[in-house]
Structure 1
Amino acid sequence: MRLHRLDITAFGPFGDSQTVDFDELSAAGLFLLHGATGAGKTSVLDAVCYALYGSVPGARQNGGQGATLRSDHAAPGTRTSVTLELTVAGRRLEITRQPPWERPKKRGTGTTLDKAQSWLRERDAASGTWKDLSRSHQEIGEEITQLLGMSREQFCQVVLLPQGDFARFLRADAEARGKLLGRLFDTRRFADVEKRLAERRRAAEARVRDGDTDLLADAHRMQQAAGDVMELPELAPGEPGLADAVLSAAAVARSTAREQLAVARCRLAAAESAQAAADRALDDVRERDRLQRRFAEARERAARLEERAGDHREAQARMERARRAEAVAPALELRDAADAEHRRAAGAEARARALLPASLAGEGAAGLAAAARRAAEELGGLESARRAERRLAELLEERAGLERQERADEEVLHDAESWLAHWEGTRAVLQARIDSAQQATTRAEQLAVQRDPARQRLAAARQRDRLAADTEDARRKALASAERAAKAREHWLDLKEQRLSGIAAELAAGLTDGAPCAVCGATEHPAPARRVDGHVDREAEERALADHQRAEEQRAEDERRLGVVREALAAAGAEAGDTPTGRLADEVEELEARYAEARAAASVLHAAQEELRRAEHEHGLRVAAQREAAVRAAARVGHRDRLDRERAALEEELDRARGTATSVTARAEQLERSVTRLTDAADAARAAEDAAQRLKDADARLADAAFRAGFDTPQAAADALLDDTAHRELQRRLDARQQEEAAVRAVLAEPETAAAARQAPADLASARRAAEEAARRVREAASACDAADRRCAELDRLSARAAASVRRLGPLREEYDRVARMAGLTAGTSADNERRMRLESYVLAARLEQVAAAATVRLHRMSSGRYTLVHSDDRTGRGRSGLGLHVVDAWTGRERDTATLSGGETFFASLALALGLADVVTDEAGGVRLDTLFIDEGFGSLDDQTLDEVLDVLDSLRERDRSVGIVSHVADLRRRVHAQLEVVKGRSGSVLRQRGIG
């Protein structure tokens, strides 16, 4: 990083605009920034830091930064502004920052607040012009931080070297040093590792405790299942040995339960044998009781049969009469059928005669038939009148149709006139809709042309954002490759130096007595050099050189890839511009919404045109309908007159045919009803005469059949008959009596039943009680056996579950032990960590060791080889170790704490430490080259000789075109350093005076 120009306006003590030309100051390599106390020397450095990071260093930064940075000497209308031009990572940039400004209103009184502004521009070397990159505070900050590879705190420690801070660092304790180094090297990730390991240890411990708790819960369940005879281990969850103790107790409980199960099964077998004997005795008693009750029931049934013997004989006699009456049954059925038919025929005749006129009520069947023929002849003569009546109905319907057509035509004319009255307004509305849709179509076409560029710009912005992340990854890879290449080169040079140191031994290996030496030419070799352990030969050096070349090739490839990504990022940025992606997305979304709105408005064009076409078609139809209705009205007049004349003729003919009836049809219906009634009455009279004759014949046949069957009268035969149900019931009773007598005789004849009846009565209750008692004993034994079986099964299940839990807990315990060891080791509490050094302290100790080594190189020159800074990881008191810093005095050969240095010694030791820290942090940031450094104060405590040595060291920093700015008010430095930037304070504010090397 090299500074070129700094422009300051209304900033800090500077009321007017001031400019610093760092290119002129840096030409001498070493320049002096001096001025009276309070003039504003530090404000120049603050302006540099503010331009880069948007904030000032350290304690000078606060929340009201805009008001604090603004100069009290500035005019009300002058805005505070800082512009810095610099080169970093091969790019020449210009950064402008303006803090918030409360300015006077342009019109009226009072003030208004302008927001903070920032600009980032890059110079195009080919065209010699400046190109805007960004106006976003956040984007500019991220870009500068990425290019420098340092945060604001690191920049203030590395570029703006504050000597007072490092003097305090030399005297500080380990905790204070740790805080400073932690900010510079950002070791929070290692603290996060410690925290993460502690959290994992607590989580693993919690899982182990939870597993042990579940295991103890299963142990308690096994204790309950075993009947509280199981002894549980007196161990808490998490204690070692708990799993083995639970498994051992479970094994004892299972063995005891199996013994109890064997005893219960033996008791059950004995109880089942006793139950079988009691059941057999109960079956014998039940069988004897059944036979005795069977014999007694048979005796009772025989007695009841004897009592009902008279009823049985009466039923047999009734069955005999019924069999004789069955011979008369056909005659009875025939007479009943004839009687029923006669009654039906007489009723039908009476009903038919009731419908006839009084003059025909007494006529016989022949007279009624003759009257029916006369009425049928009259009915046939009405056919012509019926045709005339149908024609008259048709005429009336046709006349009604003409009236309906007339009303319909009137409605058509009215609708057409009403519709045509609004036609012009309707056509104007539809035409307006078409015009609006056509305008929307034009607007949609215009927006469509704007959509593609907006979309392409949004895609480029998104690609720009992605390439920014890819650029960061490529930069990190390039930095890592550069670091590896530097290490490989350093390793190769170390091996080369070692080989050169031992080259005498390598040459001595080829010496032969009498042959001249390749170096001195002597032929005698009294004491040739010998190879020592660790000697580096040519092969090792060549391997190191090959590794170095491969690392350089990889570094070049990674830098080439970084250049490609940066070019793609620049192309995407050029296409997308500085507008944020979110804003471009909003613009595209708004454009899409407007386009969709225009498309939606334009989409109704076809519908509107179609609706106008339909309306015009409807207009033509309405006009045509109006004309056709007028033509039909004129044609209906003559047709109506013809229909009226034909109607009058038909009505005269029908008046003659109807007679007294209301119509020809009514007269025909009257005649049809008379024919039907007369015909039915004649048929009914003939049927009644025939039925009477058949009834007389049936009475004669029935009397003859009853006499032959042995009955005095036909009624006696009818009374003796039984219907099917009564006959079946009587036969069933007779059969049941016969079966009952046979069954009683069979039971009384059984030898077992008779033998059982002669024995003593069976004691069924005693036998049942004995069987129930035996069954109760079996149930108790079975219940005890089932309980023992369930206990064994439950203990087996819980034991298997506990064993599975123990197997699952095994990896958890191993993980917990491993994580606990790692957490204790990183936290410095483990016994394996002898120095009680935390992981973050260990990393910071390595960084401090690097800083001490880099500082010693310059401290040697400043102290004429007297002092050396060394890192110490010894413990101090009861605290932890890792961040000790000692100084070795070559004059005394003793090592002492840096807090014992004098004032002057502390200055150049802190300066050496600051420069060493700058080197280490620069390497940590990826090897970013720092071509401009500032060293703030502390030179007044040095004597002339030490000051010369310090200036020699600072002058050596100019190597490779590096410039160093000394911030001091020591008068002697003005004589020694020719390039100067003086800050002169006055009543109207400070001003800058620059003097170059000339």
Structure 2
Amino acid sequence: MRLHQLDITAFGPFGGSQKVDFDDLSAAGIFLLHGPTGAGKTSVLDAVCYALYGTVPGTRQSGQGLTLRSDHAAPSTRTEIRLELTVAGRRLEVTRQPPWERPKKRGTGTTLDKAQSWLREYDPVAGSWKDLSRSHQEIGEEITQLLGMSREQFCQVVLLPQGDFARFLRADAEARGRLLGRLFDTHRFAEVEKRLAERRRTTEAEVRAGDAELLADAHRMHQAAGDATAGDGTTGDGTALPELAPGDPGLAEDVLAWAAVARSTARERLTIAHCARAAAESARAAAGHVLDDVRELARLQRRLAEARERAAHLEERAEDHREAQARMERARKAEAVAPALDLRDETETEHRRAAEAETRARALLPQEYADAGAGGLAAAARRAAEELGGLESARRAEQRLASVVAERADLDRQERADDDVLQEAESWLAGWDTVRAGLQSRIESAQEAATRAEQLAERRDPARKRLDAARLRDQLAGDTDEAQARVLALGERALASRAHWLDLKEQRLQGIAAELAANLTDGQPCAVCGATEHPELARKIDGHVDRDAEERALTAYQSADEERAGAERRLGVVREALAAATAEAGDTPTDQLDRQLAELEESCAEARRGASGLHVAQEELRRAEHERELRLAAGQEAAVRAASRTTRRDTLDRERTSLEEELAQARGTADSVAARAAHLERLAAWLTDAADAARAAEDSAQRLKDADARLADAAFRAGFDTPRAAAAALLDDTAHRDLQRRLDAWQSEDAAVRAVLAESDTAAAGRQPAADLPAAERAAEAAGQRLQDAVSAWDAAERRRTELDRLSARATDSVRRLAPLREEYDRVARMAGLAAGTSADNERKMRLEAYVLAARLEQVAAAATVRLRRMSAGRYTLVHSDDRAGRGRSGLGLHVVDAWTGRERDTATLSGGETFFASLALALGLADVVTDEAGGVRLDTLFIDEGFGSLDDQTLDEVLDVLDSLRERDRSVGIVSHVADLRRRIHAQLEIVKGRSGSVVRQRGSG
């Protein structure tokens, strides 16, 4: 992978658009990325990572999205990263735009635009770019597949992070294992361990569940055999159920053996119960036969006694039976007279109703018709109907007269309403000129107030801004004093720290001989004089200052100096802000500006209140003009209606006079024609009803005489002296049914008694002694109880034997089913223990993932040693150790071998500079191994972040030589550092310069 060009817009500290030409920088093999703290050196690397993966490295990836946007960017400038690179022989261009809050195109405020991505590829044949995708997911998958690395691997291999490998160098086995696991993606081996452990737990649970089920069956068999126990937990033959638990060895054999003994005992007891049941059944049958004979004898004796009692009772009721038979005979004769009796009653009722109707109808007639017959009444009804027909024309004339009178009254009401409308319109129009003048005056006053409010509003906004600037001016004046005091205090502290550092440096130089002597070995040349013999070594005195103490003092001085510089920059910023605020606010006091703004606000509010009545006055004027038009129109319409009413009133008066003359002749003495017609209608109806009632009464009287004659004749033929005697002999349905039921019951009872007394076996039973039924029942009951007990005992023995057979077969199946599961559990448990490092066969207690990582660490150490030897002039070699470390783990140890002493020691004993170039070598070696692990992807561009300030000149030269040798693998290396000496040694540079409007990029190529 080779980077060609990076374009950054509104990203991080870069407020505008910046361009980085990696082709020009990479021509020299090594290039330097430098700039002051906070300028944005790391943001350049963040932009590369964001373009490729859509996220930034490490902890900076939290809170992305809107936070990636530069605070220095213009509101209309969108954040964008564009990276052009070559990977796997393909030249690609990746463009990413994170989400941003842009100003709305219409109105005020902002709106959120979603993130966008583009991926293009250069076609060398066509000489142009072609689009590949605009999907975030597809672009991420394409880049990851081409690079062969995840974002974490890329950040560890291409962007060698500041301090990470120093921590990796000194880390314990657990922390080192976590980092290697992320880089080499060994989670699949951890998943194997996890799956084996889960499989072991699963199979163990299945085995224990099977054992628990087997034990449950054993306890069920014990309960099933419990009826045959003596209450001491043993079966009938004294064999006790073993005390067993899931997982116990030999559990299956013990359960099956105990089940066999229980089944044998249950079969023996079943045979005994069967014999007892057969004997009880025979005894119960004999007792049953005896009981049946005694019951039959007792039944016949009771039957004979009951028959004799019933015969005596019949004899007592014989006279009543004969009387009932005579009454039934008279009732049958009277039934022949019943139709005539019913006809006479119906005819009498009909005649009575007809007479009552005639009386009611005659009561309504005038006195002159009181003695008239049916014919006279009908003739009078016809005359009244004819007179009623002659009044029809007069009734229509009377209805028309009512309509004419109503219409005439309505015309009078309309005339009065129109007079009111005309008077109201004239009164309202008389004051129209005054109302219009008042409304126009209000409109002109409101318009003048609106103009005044706009003028005051234009003066209010500058006054408010000036007041805000004055308040900021007052605040910044206090901040300036505080910042100036802090600069003075921090300057004094920096001077004291520098003096302390120079003192320690001078003390160390005075005792440097003792420090050099500590590293001398007999036979090895002295670094100062070259001698191989060292007869008198310099010794350290009390209070000797070593290199670590000097470096700590230098670090403290640099920290104090940076803090002082930061305070000075803060003071400059505050002074610039104070000057800007003073220029805008002027020298006018803040309270005076506040009063001026308050007066403007009050005046503006008063003018707006006056202008607020403009719309109301305009609406009132419009409504008044509309009302005037309505009043004028209403007056004109009322005048037109008055003219038409005069003609209509004369016509109605003439028609009314004619109708009144006609009606006076038609109504006679009645109040109206309608009253005269109503009287004639009632009279005709009464006369008709009375004639009909008179004819009906005459007809019913004749039918009543005929019915009396037929009834007398029917009673004589039936044998009764009078019709009244025949009516008395009749029975209603209820009495007839009751009498017949009594006669039938007596006859049935008499026949039944005679039949019982004639039975031979009943008569024979009466001659025998009385039967003793209770004694026979007690004997049969005792025999039945003995049989029931025997059957219960046999049934319990049968159920016990069946249940024991079922449970024994089930236990046998469980044992057969558990056998292969136990074998699988033993095999899985051995494999899980071996992979987890807990098995006795795993001597070093090394987990499977740690074993794979140990092999990778060995490769990393070998690759790192090649560069470490060059950086350390052949002194140091990195080796990995499989000694047991924290929590019993092993295989991830890392030691350094010192060629000067020939001893292997912990990497934590390296000095600061030695730690840096050792961790750098480790990082480069890890990059090579991870690259090979990722599929051999060429990494032509690397970045190394900081750490060079801890190296002396000679070591720095050796480190740079090693980095320069990376060009042998066609790589270019970018060094991110503050070290000033590197600016003289490395000609290709990318400088980040920060300013008030954001950072900018300055590039200098190898030329």
| TM-score for the superposition, normalised by structure 2 | 0.53
Deviations 1:815-861 (A, max 9, x none): 65555444323321123434322132123123223324434555687
**Residue 31 (structure 2) pairs with residue 27 (structure 1):** no
Q: Which amino acid aligns with 1:979?
A: H
In structure 1, the residue matched to 2:858 is 849
Q: Which amino acid aligns with 1:962?
A: R
The answer on whether the counterparts of 2:408 and 2:652 sit within 8 Å (CA) in structure 1 is no
- Please report how far the alpha carbon of residue 344 of structure 1 lies from its aligned counterpart in structure 2 after TM superposition: 8.7
In structure 2, the residue matched to 1:91 is 92
The answer on whether the counterparts of 1:874 and 1:882 sit within 8 Å (CA) in structure 2 is yes
- 1:875-886 to structure 2, matched below 5 A, reads 875=884, 879-885=888-894
In structure 1, the residue matched to 2:599 is none
Q: Secondary structure at the match of 1:964?
A: strand
- C-alpha distance in structure 2 between counterparts of 1:376 and 1:15, whole Å: 129
**Residue 837 (structure 2) pairs with residue 825 (structure 1):** no
**Residue 786 (structure 2) pairs with residue 777 (structure 1):** yes
- Please report how far the alpha carbon of residue 276 of structure 1 lies from its aligned counterpart in structure 2 after TM superposition: 0.9
In structure 2, the residue matched to 1:753 is 765
The answer on whether the counterparts of 2:11 and 2:68 sit within 8 Å (CA) in structure 1 is no
Q: 1:681 to 1:198 in 2, by over 3 A?
A: same
- C-alpha distance in structure 2 between counterparts of 1:791 and 1:772, whole Å: 28
The answer on whether the counterparts of 2:29 and 2:971 sit within 8 Å (CA) in structure 1 is yes
Q: Secondary structure at the match of 2:967?
A: coil
In structure 2, the residue matched to 1:667 is 687
**Residue 752 (structure 2) pairs with residue 744 (structure 1):** no
The answer on whether the counterparts of 1:154 and 1:184 sit within 8 Å (CA) in structure 2 is yes
- C-alpha distance in structure 2 between counterparts of 1:13 and 1:675, whole Å: 128
Q: 1:880 to 1:410 in 2, by over 3 A?
A: farther
In structure 1, the residue matched to 2:507 is none
Structure 2 residues not aligned, in runs of 5+: 102-109, 227-232, 360-369, 418-643
- 1:389-400 to structure 2, matched below 5 A, reads 389=388, 392=391, 396=395
In structure 2, the residue matched to 1:430 is none
- 1:46-65 to structure 2, matched below 5 A, reads 46-53=42-49
Q: 1:214 to 1:121 in 2, by over 3 A?
A: closer
The answer on whether the counterparts of 1:281 and 1:767 sit within 8 Å (CA) in structure 2 is yes
In structure 1, the residue matched to 2:471 is none
In structure 2, the residue matched to 1:174 is 173
Q: Secondary structure at the match of 2:889?
A: coil
**Residue 987 (structure 2) pairs with residue 979 (structure 1):** yes
- 1:451-530 to structure 2, matched below 5 A, reads none
In structure 1, the residue matched to 2:220 is 221
- Please report how far the alpha carbon of residue 269 of structure 1 lies from its aligned counterpart in structure 2 after TM superposition: 1.5
- C-alpha distance in structure 1 between counterparts of 2:755 and 2:122, whole Å: 140
Q: 1:840 to 1:376 in 2, by over 3 A?
A: same
Q: Which amino acid aligns with 2:184?
A: F
Q: 1:799 to 1:852 in 2, by over 3 A?
A: same
Q: 1:261 to 1:410 in 2, by over 3 A?
A: farther
Deviations 1:460-504 (A, max 9, x none): xxxxxxxxxxxxxxxxxxxxxxxxxxxxxxxxxxxxxxxxxxxxx
Q: 1:203 to 1:343 in 2, by over 3 A?
A: closer
Q: Which amino acid aligns with 2:940?
A: D
- C-alpha distance in structure 1 between counterparts of 2:220 and 2:351, whole Å: 102
- C-alpha distance in structure 1 between counterparts of 2:11 and 2:332, whole Å: 146
**Residue 928 (structure 2) pairs with residue 919 (structure 1):** yes
- Please report how far the alpha carbon of residue 766 of structure 1 lies from its aligned counterpart in structure 2 after TM superposition: 2.5
The answer on whether the counterparts of 1:161 and 1:914 sit within 8 Å (CA) in structure 2 is yes
**Is the deviation greater in 270-279 or in 22-31?**
22-31
Structure 1 residues not aligned, in runs of 5+: 101-112, 358-370, 419-626, 705-712
Q: Secondary structure at the match of 2:845?
A: coil
- 1:291-370 to structure 2, matched below 5 A, reads none
Q: Secondary structure at the match of 1:829?
A: coil
Aligned-residue CA RMSD in angstroms? 7.2
Q: 1:643 to 1:770 in 2, by over 3 A?
A: farther
Deviations 1:657-682 (A, max 9, x none): 99999523322333333333344445
- C-alpha distance in structure 1 between counterparts of 2:707 and 2:264, whole Å: 109
Between the aligned residues of both structures, percent identity stands at: 53
Q: Which amino acid aligns with 1:921?
A: V
The answer on whether the counterparts of 1:163 and 1:907 sit within 8 Å (CA) in structure 2 is no
The answer on whether the counterparts of 2:385 and 2:680 sit within 8 Å (CA) in structure 1 is no
- C-alpha distance in structure 2 between counterparts of 1:20 and 1:352, whole Å: 132
Q: 1:863 to 1:271 in 2, by over 3 A?
A: same
Q: 1:929 to 1:390 in 2, by over 3 A?
A: farther
- Please report how far the alpha carbon of residue 311 of structure 1 lies from its aligned counterpart in structure 2 after TM superposition: 7.5
The answer on whether the counterparts of 1:7 and 1:19 sit within 8 Å (CA) in structure 2 is yes
- Please report how far the alpha carbon of residue 169 of structure 1 lies from its aligned counterpart in structure 2 after TM superposition: 5.0
Q: Secondary structure at the match of 1:663?
A: helix
- 1:517-596 to structure 2, matched below 5 A, reads none
Q: How many residues align?
A: 723
Q: 1:339 to 1:171 in 2, by over 3 A?
A: closer
The answer on whether the counterparts of 2:343 and 2:707 sit within 8 Å (CA) in structure 1 is no
Deviations 1:160-201 (A, max 9, x none): 557976566556553453244234334445445544544454
In structure 2, the residue matched to 1:376 is 375
Q: Secondary structure at the match of 1:91?
A: strand
Q: Which amino acid aligns with 2:286?
A: A
Q: Secondary structure at the match of 1:957?
A: helix
- C-alpha distance in structure 2 between counterparts of 1:29 and 1:697, whole Å: 158
**Residue 931 (structure 2) pairs with residue 931 (structure 1):** no
- 1:856-867 to structure 2, matched below 5 A, reads 858=867
Deviations 1:869-916 (A, max 9, x none): 665546569933322457799999x99567599879987765543322
Deviations 1:705-751 (A, max 9, x none): xxxxxxxx999x99xxx98976885687578557645643544895x
- C-alpha distance in structure 2 between counterparts of 1:657 and 1:972, whole Å: 140
- C-alpha distance in structure 2 between counterparts of 1:684 and 1:65, whole Å: 119
The answer on whether the counterparts of 2:172 and 2:886 sit within 8 Å (CA) in structure 1 is no
The answer on whether the counterparts of 1:983 and 1:990 sit within 8 Å (CA) in structure 2 is no
In structure 2, the residue matched to 1:266 is 275
- C-alpha distance in structure 1 between counterparts of 2:749 and 2:118, whole Å: 129
- 1:197-276 to structure 2, matched below 5 A, reads 197-227=196-226, 229=234, 231-239=240-248, 241-243=250-252, 245-276=254-285
Q: Secondary structure at the match of 2:938?
A: coil
- C-alpha distance in structure 2 between counterparts of 1:749 and 1:139, whole Å: 112
Q: 1:766 aligns with which of 775, 780, 787?
A: 775
| TM-score for the superposition, normalised by structure 1 | 0.53
**Is the deviation greater in 866-875 or in 116-125?**
116-125
Q: Secondary structure at the match of 1:979?
A: coil
Q: 1:378 to 1:87 in 2, by over 3 A?
A: closer
The answer on whether the counterparts of 2:218 and 2:259 sit within 8 Å (CA) in structure 1 is yes
- Please report how far the alpha carbon of residue 775 of structure 1 lies from its aligned counterpart in structure 2 after TM superposition: 0.4
Q: Which amino acid aligns with 1:670?
A: A
The answer on whether the counterparts of 2:118 and 2:134 sit within 8 Å (CA) in structure 1 is no
- C-alpha distance in structure 1 between counterparts of 2:321 and 2:112, whole Å: 134
Q: Which amino acid aligns with 1:666?
A: W
- C-alpha distance in structure 2 between counterparts of 1:799 and 1:408, whole Å: 115
Q: Secondary structure at the match of 1:933?
A: strand
